[in-house]
Amino acid sequence: MRCVILSNGEYGDLEAYRKIFKNDDTIVCADGGANYAFKLGLIPDTIIGDMDSILPEVMEYFAASNVVMKKYPRQKDFTDTQLALTIAQKWGAAEILMLGSLGGRLDHAMCNLYCGIEVVNNNIKLTYFTPECWVYVVNRELVINGRQGDVVSIITLTQEAHGVSISGFEYSLDSTLLDKSNPFTISNVLTGDTGRISLEEGILLAFHYHTETSEKSL
């Protein structure tokens, strides 16, 4: 099961999101993410959070549509997006796609990326999407499908990533140690339609800045 989480961050061109939804997706909105679901004509399975960002008319519409709403106190130990990730894992999601979780406040964006550590350690595929970029959380292997010339940057999310190998890029690596304090693996370029990234230990973030004509595999 794939769970799509809509957070209350920046979205940009909403039309860019319509093509990524599948008919059998489970949709969870983190509070104000419901405003964007409403604009996209989506009916979420659940809205979760402290409900301080969802518009009154949106809440009224989804309540009338019998959408389950799980309200939490504003003073809590987790962000609304963290609550959404927790419920997606509880429901047994094998894959989670994050929308509206990057951009805007840098602290929120970093928090949302660091939340990926627990998710992938639970053997769940986790991806973030914006109209300009896909961000993959990698703890073993990733095949990137794009086009020649697409820019891909790699950053270690853990302090170190061991045995990192990449091929299909202008600059390759072979069983290399990456350290968070020296993020030199930035702005690499696909030499063809496919690039491969693997590692033996640790967790990586792979940022794929795709061209408009890139064929994406979800």
SS3 104: coil
Measured distance CA(7)–CA(212) in Å, rounded: 24
39 in any annotated domain: yes
- What DSSP string describes 36-74? HHHHTT---SEEEE--SSS-HHHHHHHHHTT-EEEE--S
**Residue 10 near residue 16, CB atoms below 8 Å:** no
Measured distance CA(64)–CA(115) in Å, rounded: 32
Same domain, 40 and 98: yes
Same domain, 20 and 125: yes
Same domain, 108 and 53: yes
15 in any annotated domain: yes
- Domain of 190? 141-209
The total domain count for the chain is 2
174 in any annotated domain: yes
145 in any annotated domain: yes
195 in any annotated domain: yes
Last residue of a domain, one of 102, 131, 160: 131
For residue 17, what is the domain's CATH number?
Answer: 3.40.50.10240
Same domain, 30 and 107: yes
Same domain, 43 and 105: yes
Same domain, 160 and 107: no
For residue 191, what is the domain's CATH number?
Answer: 2.60.120.320
214 in any annotated domain: no
The DSSP output letter for 32 is T
151 in any annotated domain: yes
Per-residue pLDDT tens listing for the chain (218 residues): 999 999 999 999 999 999 999 999 999 999 999 999 999 999 999 999 999 999 999 999 999 999 999 999 887 778 999 999 999 999 999 999 999 999 878 998 999 999 999 999 999 999 999 999 999 999 999 999 999 999 999 999 999 999 999 999 999 999 999 999 999 999 999 999 999 999 999 999 999 997 654 444 44
215 in any annotated domain: no
Strand (E) or helix (H) holding 173: strand 173-179
* CA angle in degrees (0–180, nearest 5) for 145-151-156: 90
Last residue of a domain, one of 86, 102, 131: 131
Last residue of a domain, one of 131, 150, 183: 131
Positions of E strands within 102-157 = 125-129, 133-138, 141-145, 151-156
